[in-house]
Structure formats: C-alpha cells, structure tokens
Structure 1
Amino acid sequence: MSAFCLQVKHVNVLFIDNPVGTGFSYVDSYSALTTNNSQIAKDLVTFTGGFLEAHPEFKTVPLYIFSESYGGKMAAEYALFLDKAIKDGNIEVPLEGVALGDSWVSPIDSVLTWAPFLLQMGFVDTEGYNIIDSYAQQTKAAIDAGKYELATDLWGRTEMIILQVTGGIDFYNVLFPVHSSSKSRPITSFRGLVNKLLLRDDDDLDHFMNTVVKEALEIPAEVTWGGQSGDVFDYLSEDFMKPATEVVEQLLEKTDLTVCVFTGQLDLIVDTPGTLLWAEQLKWSEAKNWATATRSPVVINGIIEGYKKSFGNFHFYWLLRSGHMVPTDNPTGALKLLQEITHYK
C-alpha cells in the first residue's frame, strides 16, 4: 500500500491507496493481490500498525474511518478488525467510529432498486423499467444460486442496459448534464464500464495524478497511478457482489464505535432507496428503536441540507442535492456531518 498524511482545515487526513494494487500502490507478484474483503481489512490493520509505529504521535489522536462507494464495504470490516486488534492489545489508537458513504455494503439492494428509482425520477418509462428490472432479477438469481462471479457480470450488464435505456445517464449524479463531445469515450463493453464507473478512467485525472501529484509525492518514475487497478478488480470479481451487512451488524452489536451511514439522494451507483433498504433490515438489538427514532432535518444557515436519524451508536444521514460524491456535491452538508460524527469544534 501507499499512503500520505496531511492536515487540512479541520482534521488530519490519512489517504491510503487501497486495496494494494490501486492508486500508486503496486505488487511485484499478482499473487499478493487480495481476493476478498477480509484480506483487504487485514492488510489495512497491518498498515495501520506500521503507520502508528512510524508516527507514534498519532497513537493518542482519535481515529475515524471515513469511506465512499466500495470503500464503505472495505471500511466496515477494517473497523471491525481494527477494533479487535486494539482490544487484543496489538495496536494502540483511540478508534472512535466509521462512516460509510454511498457504500457498496449490500450490492443487490442497489441493483434491485435501480429500476423503480429511475422510473420515479422520470428517466425511464414502464417499458424501460421492465427491461432494467429483468436484468436486475437475473443478477439476484445468480446471487441466490451462489454464482457471485456471474452476478458481477450481470451487474455490469444491468448498468449497460441502463445506459442504453436512458441514453447515457450519469451514474454519479443523475442530474448532471450528459454532453456529447470528442473527448468523451462511449461505454461499449463491460471492461469499459468498470474502467469508467469504478476505476475512474479519465484522461484529465490520469494526467493530473501521474504528473502534478506524482511529482509532489516524489513517486518513482516507473510507478504509474492506476497501473494495476484493472487487475485488482479482476481478482475481486468473485467477492464484488457479496454483501457486508453482517459486518455492519457486528459493528453495532459488538463494538462501541460510532457507525454512520450516509447517502446522496442523486446517486445512482448506490442509490438511496437501496441503502435505506439494507439499513432498515439490519439485525441488531436496537434495530426497532432506531427504526422508530425521530428523523430530523439538517439545517445550516436556514437551509435544509439533509435529514438524519440516530439511536444509540447508529446514525443515518440523507444528504440532499448530492450524488455519489457527497462532499463534492454538497460540501456544506458533508462538513456538518463530519462535525457531528467526529465531535470536533
């Protein structure tokens, strides 16, 4: 793994290229690539221990794990494993909580709610709904049969169908205008879909990371940002559609950590209906109390930026006017969430 730490306006931030093989991190042998979420979590715990030994000044600084998208699936198990390592006396750091943003925690709940979400938003008609839903149901059937690699392939086909039916919707924020230009590369294959939606295949971003950022971090010339990302996805394809809801349940039931789930209302990749669905179906001792807790608006300078529901150590935030990248689309609401979860002043 590769990582760097910096202090921004409000908190210290540690960025980690994870799992190994993504970003600037790389492996000399593909046998070192991870194939499931538990391996990713164990790698992260090992890294955390090494980082704290190299920088002991952070051993007393409260630690919160914030994540987004597939990172949410990783962060949940990372938090669970790290909490155990701390309790076992193997790592010293005050781990306080984990925040799962637009997280791929229950993939099938996202896939099954795409068709109704797009219908209700006006992006498809009933015929389009039926086409998308038919592929979503095929994906569910593969999962029910334990054919997870096939489910990953069918997930990709479902998204390809959505692109066709909608004429090219933006999965990151359904309200973003989609322009046709000479710079855009239409998605015509499963690999193209993965590269664009998951691996952030973007010429401008690639250039920025491999020039400005690479030089600033003094990355060796032979290392290329994103050079092994495609291989990382291939090695995780069997695990990609497996849920991590049981891990979240263990966080709520077996730890004292603050657990936050937040969702951007305009995200299609991990849509709000699917996220709320798995959150409401979590099995933990305070589930009924959380379900009936008061849902209150998040108001900043007289503007409603979202809503939240909390009980015990579980907090759920709906962030308005934002898609998959909540901090980018609604920085005001995201900052308020950060303040409330970390309790910083």
Structure 2
Amino acid sequence: MEKFHAFLVTSVFVVTLFQGATVSCLRYREGSEEWGYVQVRPKAHLFWWLYRSPHRVEHPSKPWPIILWLQGGPGSSGIGFGNFGEIGPLDINLKPRNFTWLRKADLLFVDNPVGTGYSYVEDPNLYAKTDEEAITDLTTLLTELFNNDATLQKSPLFIVAESYGGKFAVPLGLSAFKAIQQGTLKLKLGGVVLGNTWISPEDFVFSWGPLLKDLSRLDDNGLQKANSIAERIKQQLEAGQFDGATDSWGELENEISASSNSVDFYNFLQDSKSDSDTLNAMELGLYREVSMMRYSKYLASKSSSLLGSEENQLDSLLNGVIKKKLKIIPENVTYVAQSIDVFENLYAEFMKPRISQVDELLALGVHVTVYSGQLDLICATKGTEAWLKKLKWAGLESFMGKERTPLYCGSDKWTKGFFKSHNNLQFYWILGAGHFVPTDQPCLALEMVGEFTHSPAPSS
C-alpha cells in the first residue's frame, strides 16, 4: 500500500473539458490511464476509466484492440468488480494481476447505467427505466470519448459483457454499428462478446431444475416445484407481464435455494451464504429483495475471498484510496458494488430476452463470441445452448454441425474447455469455471481474449 500512495503523490494530472449541446466530458490523465465523467443527459453522469496497455504491439495488419467491459446486475460496478476483481491491472490488494487482460488489449471500464458505482444522477427521476435508455447513454459516452480522440479511433472496440451486461452489450453493438454507418460515431467495431450473459431469462429458468436434478441438488419434488414456477414465468412473458415475471424469478430462486439447501447460483459446486437480512426477507416473502441481495452479496464474498478479508473491502477500497486517487468523484457519491436503485428502475426490463438482437448482429456480419462457465447456474451453459438454438441466423445449422476443438492452457495438457466457430459466431465452453470466468480460469480466459481480439503477439 505504501508504494501505491507514493505513486499517487508523484503523478501529474491534466484536465480537459469538452462541451457539446447536452454533453460534457471531464477527463483526467495520469500516464497510461485516463478517467472521467460524461454528462450523458442533463444531471446524469457516467464514469469511465481507460487503461492503455504497456504490452501494446504496433502491427500494420492487426491494430491493437480496446475492450469495453460491461458488468451485470443491473447496477453492478465494472469500475470496482470488473476492474479490481476480474481483469484490470491491479487486484483488490492493489498488486499486479498476472492474467490482466491488458496483456491483450487496452481496457475501458464504465459504471453503467447511471447510478451504478461512481456514476450518478442529480435527480432520482433520471435513472434509466429501460435497457434502451441505458444504451442511448452508453452510445453518447462512446461518441464523446471516441469522436474526440484520434488515437482511440485507430483501435477496434470489442464490447465484452458479463451477466446482465449482455443485455446492454447486444443492443449497444447494434447502436454503435448504426451510428458508425451514419457517420456520427468514429470507431471500429471489432465485435460483441457475451460471457455468461442473461440473454434469454426464460431458457435459463427452465435449465435450473433439470440441471440441479442431474447434479443431485434437487430431488423429484424440488424439480417439480422449479418447473412449475418456470412454466408460470413463461406464461407471464408471453402475456407481457414483465414485472410479474421478475417477481416469479425471485420466487423461483428462493424455492431452488430452499430445495437444494442453498446451492450457490454462481458456482453450483458450492453453497451460498445467507445472513440475517437475507433470511428475514425470505421469511417475509420479499423474493425480489432476496434475489438482489444474493447477487450483491456474492460480489462482496467473491471480492473478500480474493482479498482474504471482510465482505465490505471492495466498497472500502473504492470509497478510500481509489476515490482519493481519482480526485473527481463528488463527495456526496458513495460507492457501492451493487446499486439496488438501478435494479429497481429496470425491474420490468429484467426478464425480457435479447435473442432477436443477437440475430441482428450476426446478420449484419458483426463478430459475436459467446463463452460459458461450466459451473454457473444463474446463466447455465444448458440455458445458453438453448437460446443459441433459437437463433434464426442463416449459419446456425452449419455452426451446430461443427465439431468442437479441445482447449488447453500453456504446457498443461488437461482439458480446460472446448471451442466451436462458424463464420462470425464463436462459442467457448470453459471447464471448471462458474459465473466469473476470468477469476476461475484466468489463463484460458486470457488466451480466449487473444483469439477473439486477434491481438498481435509480441515480437520475439
């Protein structure tokens, strides 16, 4: 920690301010890092943080890529967990990460939607109420950052998402593609990458019961209860009762938790930990509150397992030394890893699918990569394979007929995963990983990044 403080003291900051009709961007530069706010709407501010890779390789036919990382939730902070917990240059101990994705690309983190992490609104009525509103904000941010930076424009942008972030990544890919075509956005779209993403909630809720029954975490009674609620969710979605479907999703999660003796939704080989607040909410039947608590507390426990300390260490880090480093976070903005307010405002959006928009991306020729951790339950591989089979993409039959290629990592010849590809669709099955693939299988995840970005290798 002392070395990190010394780094802050000796750093030099430069501020530039861009003004537009309704957009302003406050930008700080410190060596190979930049961060700032974009006012995407009056009184609505998105925070971003860009790392330029020290491993950058200049190659005439393979430009160095940029990864935009979108966290899930909705309302989970990419600046915090994605950056310090998964793929950024420093881990939660502020020590260099061996498998940082900076080895293959520059990294751009955004706390999205507004109200998440360091992003904030000056009026609670300004939270995004739909995924589309959040996408409009993200497109505004990309326009402000890329249109004002000729260096960024040279690198292909890969939109990489985890969990609910996929429901932002897919429409953002479409929005960016159209804006590029119209000449209003100056960037190169490299592709969209969906990691354990919540693309088709219906397919996931129908996967939970059968998967857990095969794993002996549910018996026939538990399976029957799970399938009954899943069928109700299907009917609600067909009737356009999206709030009710989200209520039923929370009820299903808690029924499965009770029938399985608290299986962990983010790694089904483990048990989840429940505290008194969660148990009290379950007893009162507050299903949605419990489900939101479960995700937030999993992020906290995942962070604490990496740090080997208390659950609130990520929040403490971002409200302490990191906030001091960044200098521009308003005093009244308190960082939390998961914003309940953001989730609540997108409550009716939560169960809506994005399969048709994946089809649109593929039809436009955009490269789409899907990866799935074997041990994930919430976005189980079984559910991911189910929604992939619903694609109307012309290349689907050929894709399904392809043989898988086994994947290894380094000199280790144990099978780490499988890969299949046809035209602009790629799929990675990642063995031994749960919902958070970069932390569970960091070596294979990094090699996968090099493949889908076509990142140029260092010269020997």
Question: TM range, normalised to the smaller chain?
Answer: over 0.9
Question: 2:49 maps to what in 1?
Answer: 4
Structure 1 residues 215-294: aligned runs within 5 Å: 215-218=324-327, 219-226=329-336, 229-254=339-364, 256-294=365-403
Does the 8 Å contact 2:268/2:377 carry over to 1?
A: yes
What's the TM-score, normalizing by structure 2? 0.71
Distance in 2 (CA, whole Å) between partners of 1:13 and 1:31 is: 31
For residues 288 and 109 of structure 1, do their structure 2 counterparts lie closer, same or farther at Cα, with a shift above 3 Å needed?
same
299-308 or 83-92, which deviates more: 299-308
**Would the aligned equivalents of 1:26 and 1:228 in 2 still touch at CA under 8 Å?**
no
For each residue in 1:162-202, what CA deviation from the matched residue of structure 2 results, as whole angstroms up to 9, or x when unmatched?
Answer: 1111111111111235567x899646343132133158465
- In the TM superposition, what whole-angstrom CA distance separates every residue of 1:118-155 from its partner, at most 9, and x where no partner exists? 11112111111111221111111211211000000100
SS in 2 for 1:262: strand
Aligned counterpart, 2:159: 65
Whether the 8 Å contact between 1:305 and 1:332 is mirrored in structure 2 is no
Residues 204 and 192 (structure 1 numbering): CA distance in 2 closer, same or farther, change over 3 Å?
farther
CA contact (8 A) 1:308 1:318 kept: yes
Structure 1 counterpart of 2:229, from 127, 135, 138: 135
Q: Which consecutive unaligned segments of at least 5 residues does structure 1 have?
A: none
For 1:223 and 1:312, the matched residues in 2 are separated by 45
- How many angstroms apart in 1 are the aligned matches of 2:251 and 2:316? 29
Paired residue secondary structure (2:429) = strand
What letter corresponds to residue 189 of structure 2 in structure 1?
L
Question: Higher Cα Rg: structure 1 or 2?
Answer: 2
- What is the match of residue 308 of structure 2? none
After superposition, the C-alpha distances for 1:63-98 in whole angstroms (9 at most, x for unaligned) are 111110000111011011101111111111111111
Q: What residue number does 2:293 align with?
A: 195
The structure 2 residue matched to 1:147, chosen from 235, 238, 241, is 241
CA distance, structure 2, for counterparts of residue 165 and residue 212 of structure 1: 42
Superposition RMSD in Å: 2.0
179 and 286 in structure 1: CA distance in 2 versus 1, 3 angstrom threshold: closer
Distance 1:227 1:318, change over 3 A: closer
Contact 1:110–1:274 (Cα < 8 Å) also in 2: yes
CA distance in 2, matches of 1:231, 1:177: 27
Question: How many Å separate the matches in 1 of 2:273 and 2:337?
Answer: 28
Cα 1:33–1:184 change in 2 (3 A) is closer
May I ask how many residue pairs the two structures share in their alignment?
A: 343
Equivalent position amino acid for 1:66 in 2: V
Instruction: Look up the equivalent residue of 1:266 and give its one-letter code.
Output: L
- Would the alpha carbon gap of residues 205 and 325 (structure 1) be closer, same or farther in structure 2, given more than 3 Å must change? same
**Cα gap change, 1:121/1:216 in structure 2, threshold over 3 Å: closer, same or farther?**
farther
Cα separation, 1, equivalents of 2:318 and 2:209: 35
Q: Are the counterparts in 1 of residues 226 and 256 from structure 2 also a CA contact under 8 Å?
A: yes
Q: Sequence identity, in percent?
A: 36
Query: Following TM superposition, by how much is the alpha carbon of 1:101 offset from its aligned partner in structure 2, in angstroms?
Result: 0.5
| SS across alignment from 1:102 | strand
Distance in structure 2 (CA, Å) of the matches to 1:250 and 1:208: 40
Normalized against structure 1, the TM-score is what? 0.94
Distance 2:338 2:436 in 1: 23
Moved more, 121-130 or 67-76: 121-130
Counterpart CA distance in 1 for 2:271 and 2:238 is 36
2:204–2:383 Cα contact (<8 Å) kept:
yes
Aligned to 1:320: 431
Q: Which residue of 1 aligns with 2:323?
A: 214
Distance 1:97 1:319 in 2: 20
**Aligned 8 A contact 1:322 1:330 in 2:** yes
Is the 8 Å Cα contact of residues 278 and 290 (structure 2) preserved in structure 1?
A: no
What is the deviation of 1:61? 1.1
- Contact preservation (8 Å) 2:416, 2:430: yes
Q: Given the alignment of the two structures, is residue 85 of structure 1 paired with residue 176 of structure 2, yes or no?
A: no
Given the superposition, is the C-alpha separation of residues 37 and 245 from structure 1 closer, same or farther in structure 2, using an over 3 Å criterion? same
Q: Does 1:100 align with 2:183?
A: no
Supply the AA of the counterpart residue of 2:253.
Answer: E
Partner of 2:141: 47
SS of the residue corresponding to residue 120 of structure 2 reads coil
Q: Which whole-Å CA distance do the structure 2 matches of 1:97 and 1:311 have between them?
A: 15
Q: How has the CA–CA distance of structure 1 residues 80 and 118 changed in structure 2, closer, same or farther, with 3 Å as cutoff? A: same
